Amino acid sequence: MMTLIPAIDLINGRCVRLTKGDYTAKTEYAANPVDMARMFADCGITRLHLVDLDGAKASEPRNLAVLEQICAATTLEVEWGGGVKTTATLRDVMNAGARYVICGSIAVDDESLCMEWLSAYGAEHIILGADVRDGMVSTHGWQKDSSVSLFALVDKYMGQGLRQVICTDISRDGMLQGPNFDLYKSLLQRFPNIELTLSGGVASMHDLDVAAQAGLHHAIIGKAIYEGKITMEELRLWSQNE
């Protein structure tokens, strides 16, 4: 059964959602991130996608206090993304309670360092975050477009023992128009041993059913929850059947 991973995106310690990664197209929600995490845990959710958007822009984590509070208040396994550019900051994130660290920009900008982390911390803790626009990887909080293709990036790290990949289709993120299933099917076909997480575009439980049938291992849900398209009760029922 596919695992559902609710997302909490942070700016200034608050829950927000962006549209297509645009910081100027921001919606801020009243919910406190720790309270949201507790609600997810109460629904039987076991894993949380926590993104430090401030950290992604600043190239260093800025919301570690929220991570610490969530880990103290729940038993959720947290995957952290945003601002991890040095070994020191990676340690800070792990020490604050994160179970997984997502390597996004650093995987493009400093391959040797990312390979070093993969070797030192293991494939069970390091996740490749591939944020894609038109087949090419974007970095630095989706503010920069690289010349690296999605398949080339995944292929490089799979050869070094990588197992987990989160792939976000930026054009679908926050749009509530459904995921780019062709993208994920092509990834699974090319890399059948990958533990792949869908991110971007989930708008309904039907989308999640399709994703599960396609063989996706995990699916990140963000705006659909905050906009009431997917309810806490639906999350609870799915978690009970995992």
Type of residue numbered 8: I
pTM: 0.93
pLDDT for the residue numbered 31 = 79
pLDDT for the residue numbered 143 = 67
Assigned CATH topology for domain 3-240: TIM Barrel (3.20.20)
Average pLDDT for 32-48: 97
Looking at every residue in the chain, the average pLDDT score rounds to 92
9 part of the active site: yes
pLDDT for the residue numbered 153 = 95
Alpha-helical segments (H) within 43-76: 53-58, 64-73
54 part of the active site: no
**Active site residue: 9, 52, 54, 207, which one?**
9
- CA-CA distance, 148 to 6, in Å (whole number)? 28
- CA-CA distance, 114 to 6, in Å (whole number)? 26
49-101 pLDDT tens trace: 999 999 988 889 999 999 999 999 999 999 999 999 999 999 999 999 999 99
**Active site residue: 52, 131, 169, 207, which one?**
131
Contacts of the segment 92-99: beta carbons below 8 A, 24+ positions apart = 92/61, 92/64, 93/61, 93/64, 93/67, 94/121, 94/125, 96/64, 96/67, 96/68, 96/71, 97/67, 97/68, 97/70, 97/71, 97/72, 98/50, 98/67, 98/71, 99/125
Between 106-115, 135-144, 201-210, 211-220, the lowest mean confidence (pLDDT) is in 135-144
